[in-house]
Structure 1
Amino acid sequence: MNKILESLKLDLLHTGHVQLDSNWDYDNVISPFSRIYLITDGNAKIFHSYEEVELKAGYIYLVPSFTYSRYKCDSFLNQYYVHFLEEIGNGLSVYDIKDFIYETVATDFDIQCFKRLVELQPSMSLKNVDVKKYDNQDSIEFIKKNNRLQSAAKLLETQGLLRLLCSRFIKNEKVNKTLIKSGFSDVLNYIKEHLHEDLTVSDLAKNYNLSADHFSRVFQQKFGIRPSKYIQTVRIERSETLLLTTNNTLVEIADKTGWNTVSYFTRMFKKINGKTPGQFRKERLSD
């Protein structure tokens, strides 16, 4: 399995040091890139991968790509940050083949890595911390293009530092290795990123120049589930997350997860969970 890591490609998007305040308050963030934070002072909270994490000074944190996440700072937070793209062979993500922890104590060497990245790439700091200003494909493509113009020495050192920081969070191999054989695993990330839209199997199939039936058969062979069922499953999971971690209304949640109407959302949610979204939220939050 470790041989696959030899093809790991990392592209730095942003790095810098910043002090944040209560304006750092974002919901429903699903970025196509990963984040690593080193907290130097203050505190805040983030939510991703079904976990709420309190950001504390002296720790480093990982937020994987294509995960629903929330960010909230009540007072202030000083942090170093690194945003990067990662890919292994055929469009796979390293998160498909390895399990990760999301928090660990920062070592002196970790701190040196962050500081060196900022020193090495001073032009890659964020000009605006508003996620909507930089979390878009045009911005990412522009940065990737500029990366290719860097000197070989700077590029290799940057990638080496990114690898070192990523290695701090790898836990072990995933048991399920199905995705490694996939030639179009990027479709899973596409579904997660566009979950709020009217996703259809026909539309997904067009991206691969396949008929809807052919696409469905291949998808099931690769992932062991029909694409329509997978979309429904992800929508239910994200709906559960929003019900338990936000004050969003059912209308807002239905809109954010692509159910279109509250009645359809309620009907499908009850079919899967045996209770309505409202009952689910009330029971789980009263535990």
Structure 2
Amino acid sequence: MIKRNLKHTFSLLNVDYVRLNAKWNYSNVISPYYRIYYIDDGEGDISDAACSLKLEPGYLYIIPSFTLCNLNCSNYLGQFFVQFFEDSIDGSSLFANNRAVLKTKATEMDINLFNRLLEINPGRGINRSDNPKVYEKDIYYKEYQELNNQQNISTYLETQGILMMLTAKFLNPQLFKHPEHKPIPVKIAEALNYILVNLHINLSVHLLASRANQNVDYFSRQFMQHTGTRPLNYINQKRVERAQYLMATSRMSYSEICTQTGFDNLSYFSKTFKKLTGMSPSEYKKQIYQVGFNH
């Protein structure tokens, strides 16, 4: 019998209740963390590349990490929200094949979960200046992570449980577009982990295949079969995701980020970044300052 282990955990960033107005109007938002909303009053809309959803009372919404979307409130909106990072043993994401905004009917339990999350995590709202020159994002990300580290074990586990329960609402087959994948072979899983740990070095299909003691063609076919993409595409995708994370959480220069993520030069970095995100690194950085922690 194979023992099933939970390989995904979450790291709380913010949780709060806010009253929004027409100033809450952002386009092409893409963040390295998850957002879950519960709407209790007013209306707005949220859209991604595939669809547009009305934000309305009584519903929960999720925006998975690295999901491009648009946010809008034409008048007013009452919103519970939680923002959190996802961590996993092999670097995979629960929503890797479902980078889309999802909506589901909320229950009384969901509302109680949000209220409990607020109760056991006081002071975790977004109460910084709207002026990006006033706050330094890397300091605040580290500050919130340190708050997680300071939680007692009871609060930490309860927070994890609530985030898992809220996220689980969107993982049912009715909302998910793809069935769950079969277990990934050990050699492919090891290759995925090696990639994530070594994004800063020169990674090649030949190197990965050699580490798995497989020929390049066979390794590439196995990789494609179990990840849905070719090795080099996967490497570039993870490098760009890491770059997005570093832009959002640090003050590194583009050159430093380029080195940290294993791109040979700034030109190739910019070209790959725009190909995968639809915007240049500078456009993405500007968007972070416009949206960032601001509600």
TM bucket (normalised to shorter chain) is: 0.5 to 0.7
In the alignment, which residue of structure 2 is the partner of 1:257? 278
Contact 1:8 / 1:89 at 8 angstroms: preserved in 2? yes
Q: For 2:200, which of 201, 207, 223 is the aligned residue? A: 207
Unaligned segments of structure 1, at least 5 residues: 191-204, 233-252, 261-287
SS in 1 for 2:61: strand
Summarize the Cα distance change of 1:111–1:256 in structure 2 as closer, same or farther, 3 Å threshold.
closer
Greater Cα shift, 98-107 or 126-135: 126-135
> How far has the Cα of 1:49 moved from its partner?
5.6
Summarize the Cα distance change of 1:12–1:135 in structure 2 as closer, same or farther, 3 Å threshold.
farther
Greater Cα shift, 102-111 or 215-224: 215-224
Question: Does 2:40 correspond to 1:47?
Answer: no
In the alignment, which residue of structure 1 is the partner of 2:149? 148
SS in 2 for 1:94: coil
> How far has the Cα of 1:16 moved from its partner?
0.6
TM superposition score normalised by structure 2: 0.62
Q: Which has the higher helix share?
A: 1
Greater Cα shift, 28-37 or 140-149: 140-149
> How far has the Cα of 1:7 moved from its partner?
2.2
User: C-alpha distance in 2, partners of 1:10/1:255?
Assistant: 25
Q: For 2:230, which of 220, 225, 230 is the aligned residue? A: 225
Question: Does 2:95 correspond to 1:90?
Answer: no
TM superposition score normalised by structure 1: 0.63
User: C-alpha distance in 1, partners of 2:24/2:116?
Assistant: 25
SS in 2 for 1:6: coil
> How far has the Cα of 1:227 moved from its partner?
2.9
User: C-alpha distance in 2, partners of 1:187/1:66?
Assistant: 21
Count of aligned residue pairs for this structure pair: 226
In the alignment, which residue of structure 2 is the partner of 1:65? 65
Letter in 2 for 1:225: R
SS in 1 for 2:31: coil
SS in 1 for 2:36: strand
Summarize the Cα distance change of 1:82–1:227 in structure 2 as closer, same or farther, 3 Å threshold.
same
Summarize the Cα distance change of 1:128–1:46 in structure 2 as closer, same or farther, 3 Å threshold.
farther
> How far has the Cα of 1:215 moved from its partner?
6.5
Q: How does 1:57-206 map to 2 (within 5 A)?
A: 57-96=57-96, 102-128=102-128, 139-172=140-173, 174-177=179-182, 181-183=188-190
SS in 2 for 1:170: coil
SS in 2 for 1:11: strand
TM-superposition CA deviations, 1:71-118 (whole Å, max 9, x none): 111111001001111223222211137898811111111111101111
Contact 1:92 / 1:186 at 8 angstroms: preserved in 2? no
User: C-alpha distance in 2, partners of 1:131/1:10?
Assistant: 28
Summarize the Cα distance change of 1:114–1:258 in structure 2 as closer, same or farther, 3 Å threshold.
closer
Letter in 1 for 2:141: I
SS in 1 for 2:15: strand
> How far has the Cα of 1:65 moved from its partner?
0.7
Unaligned segments of structure 2, at least 5 residues: 210-215, 238-273, 282-295
Summarize the Cα distance change of 1:206–1:79 in structure 2 as closer, same or farther, 3 Å threshold.
closer
